[in-house]
A and B are shown apart, each in its own frame.
Chain A
Amino acid sequence: MVATAAGIVGTQPAHDDGTVPDLLDLHRSGQLVEHYPAVQGLLSDLSEEQLLRAGRLLARVDPAEVLARHPGITALTIAVVGHGTLAGLVPPLTAELARHGLLARLHLGAFGSYVADLADPASDLYAARPDLVLCLLGPDLIWSEVTAPWRPDDVDRIWAEKLALLEGLARHFEDVGHGVLVLNTTPLTRTHTAQLVDHASRARLGAVWREANARLLGLAEQHPALVVVDTDPLLAGGIPARDTRMSLYAKAHLSAELLAAYAREIGHLARAVTGRTRKTLVLDLDGTVWGGVLGDDGIDGIEIGETYRGEAFRTFQQVVRQLGSQGVLLAAVSKNDAETVHDVLAHHADMVLRESDLVRVVANWHPKHDNLRELATDLNLGVDSLVFADDSPYERGLVRREVPEVAVVALDDEPARHVEALLADGWFDVRVLTEEDHERPARYRAEADRRGFLHSFDSLDGYLRELGVRVLLAPATDSQVNRISQITLRTNQFNLTGERLQPAAVAARTRDPESLVLGIRCSDRFGDNGLAGAVLAYREDDTVHIDNFLLSCRVFSRGIEQACLSAVLRHARDTGADAVVGTYRETPRNGKVRDFYPRAGFVPVGAPTAQGAVFRHDLTEILPPPDHVALAVQLAGGETP
């Protein structure tokens, strides 16, 4: 059985001789649709070329058939438009999404029609309601309009026109579309710079081109629905920007290698917009964080610091720490004695990573897959939010087999390559970073203190009374829009409907007078939990509809959710509503909140449908907030204790 990130379980097909068939076998036998949930596992270890080939075969599969056979798979509608031939992006994009357990429903724009597609609200593009719109830009966007003889100023003028056009399209997209628009910077190749024989003009062309790309990147700052993929760092990895024959004969202006690298970035963007960003980096220690074997070499014998290899490990630690500073939870799982590991982390002078950087250090002799499962439970996260990096093929293979939901980063015995291997996939990519992200590791460490505190009580009630939970429920401010969006994207367990909202969608709700976007802030004796939840509702006549209710997994089961729901019900009654209606839509991870509404006195309205189960509260008897919660509510027409 193979469990995918989408939580779907697919039967791994098997040959009569017991070996597992690969993707080509499934294609040849016409079983790709039937065994689609197993595809993710088959793609996890492929080379770039094998992945591309898999993508070509997968692109032949009809997504509608896959969805009909496996309704639980998460499908993403992606429109691809742009300048030139776009078909080359289909196989890598299909493969990258499949790698993440996502099904790509692709809509390809007609050749050269991107302006009409994006500008016309009645276009097929908008009719398809794409989650992502990729507007692929190649150098020919500019060069197709440059005729000889030309000078850098001509290029500057054409770029200015294109940038104005692209910004107009982005603005229009925000008004009309509902998803994310993706643009990209476009490379300048020597076949153009070398057409200028004087160095001054070449330098000027280089400046013009880069200023234009920089302005393109800058557009994302003003347009929340826009993402601009920077192709320069992808190219700097050493791949060609274009294939001149393909560009000339087939109007395919970006190289297959660049499209593959671009598709990988889009795969991680797709993870982010569907709430699949990974949250925790779990590191092996020996051979991963330092060189050598701690148990054999001792604290003074491991490689870290001033030696050649020691420098490489230290550089890797710096990068890990950098990820940790942006809200990625860091943990260690190592086959070692706990005391020795503690000794290194606390006392080795050359270590960059310290115990305070890690939310958990698990050093014992248990199998790593068991430790990873326990770690996830301990952090109240799913194993599908873990990324595990190890230099041992044995340990990696075992983790892949036992916990296929964990993303595995393959390091080898060359520590200089560790950083590249770790960053090859954007497992932790998010749309925007919020203040909460910087605070997250400290909050998870405080959670460990809370658990220690819990164990000192006989009953949960006694614990909760002493915890001193304080909650503020108030309308979201502009500065909280990104965080509220992030809560909808990151929260899987306490998420009543699984609906994800991009920042632009949250901002639109905060501007709508009939809509309520409430943020839940909470704190306790161990510290501030920050903005940890949200209630999204709207009012229609005398009924308040709760679209979604979300709470971070760090803080639920402390009465916060009951207190906030009680406050929303009282606010509805006090402002003249006669009912509150809420919906629960089951997702692979939100089973524990199935009874959230009934427990608060809501009654089911009709039988559950594919849209979810609807519950209604008539506001006659509203359960008070739990005694141990100090609740403050700031709502117009509501109370403000």
Chain B
Amino acid sequence: MKTVDDLVTIIRDEIGLPVTPADAELPLPDVIGWDSVHLLALCVILERETARPISLPDVLEAPTLKAIYEVAVSTGQS
């Protein structure tokens, strides 16, 4: 996962939501079809994709898809 667009593709293909790169900076409640329950599945998928543990509380608190991407790629690098 190199860019936030890759995250968007993962959400489209793995969770099945019709998101586009334009949704990346929208507040999550404004993203069509978004529900907090998707975060749990997404955390598992992201850990598999990045092969690194991700901080669940940080993902759960992230306000946008872009913020989720940043948590996913930054975790483990600090």
Contact = CB atoms under 8 A, between A and B. Distances in A.
Interface of A: 24, 27-28, 53, 56-57, 59-60, 85, 87-88, 91, 245-246, 249-250, 252, 256
Interface string B9-20: 000111111000
Given A56-B41, A85-B40, A250 B14 contact: no
A597 to B, nearest CB: 47
Interface string B33-75: 1010101110010000000000011001000000000000000
A27 B33 CA distance: 15
Given A245-B56, A249-B57, A256-B44, A87 B13 contact: no
A57 B16 CA distance: 5
A87 B16 contact: no
Nearest to A58: B16
B11 to A, nearest CB: 10
A60 B16 contact: yes
A254 to B, nearest CB: 12
A345 B15 CA distance: 52
Nearest to A249: B56
Interface in B1-39: 12-17, 33, 35, 37, 39
Given A85-B40, A250-B40, A252-B40, A53 B14 contact: yes
Contacts of B41: 56, 88, 91
A213 B39 CA distance: 32
Contacts of B40: 85, 87-88, 246, 250, 252
B5 to A, nearest CB: 16
25 contacts: A24-B13, A27-B13, A28-B12, A28-B13, A53-B14, A56-B14, A56-B15, A56-B16, A56-B41, A59-B16, A60-B16, A60-B17, A85-B37, A87-B35, A87-B37, A87-B40, A88-B37, A246-B40, A246-B56, A249-B56, A249-B60, A250-B39, A250-B60, A252-B40, A256-B44
Contacts of A27: 13, 16
Most buried by B among A28, A56, A60, A252: A56
A27 B16 CA distance: 8
A59 B39 CA distance: 15
Interface of B: 12-17, 33, 35, 37, 39-41, 44, 56-57, 60
A53 B49 CA distance: 14
B25 to A, nearest CB: 23
Instruction: Enumerate the 7 nearest inter-chain pairs by beta-carbon distance, A residue then B residue, closest first.
Output: A87-B37, A60-B16, A57-B16, A249-B56, A245-B56, A250-B40, A56-B15
Nearest to B17: A60
Interface of B is mostly: helix
Contacts, number: 37
A252 B43 CA distance: 13
A119 to B, nearest CB: 25
Nearest to A24: B13
A250 B60 CA distance: 9
Contacts of B44: 256
A258 B6 CA distance: 30
A250 B56 CA distance: 9
A165 B60 CA distance: 33
B49 to A, nearest CB: 12
Contacts of A245: 56
Interface centre among B12, B14, B17, B40 (most CB of A within 10 A): B40
Nearest to A86: B37
Contacts of A28: 12-13
Nearest to B33: A60
Contacts of A85: 37, 40
A246 B47 CA distance: 13
A245 B59 CA distance: 12
Contacts of B16: 27, 56-57, 59-60
Among A28, A87, A246, find the residue whose CB has the most chain B CB atoms closer than 10 A. A87
Contacts of A91: 41
A24 B9 CA distance: 12
A59 B56 CA distance: 24
Contacts of B15: 56, 60
A469 B35 CA distance: 63
Contacts of B56: 245-246, 249-250
Contacts of B39: 250
Most buried by B among A27, A28, A245: A245
Given A27-B13, A27-B16, A56-B41, 13 more contacts: A24-B13, A53-B14, A56-B14, A56-B15, A57-B16, A60-B33, A85-B37, A85-B40, A87-B35, A87-B40, A88-B41, A246-B56, A249-B57
Contacts of A250: 39-40, 56, 60
Contacts of B35: 87
A88 B14 CA distance: 14
A537 B65 CA distance: 59
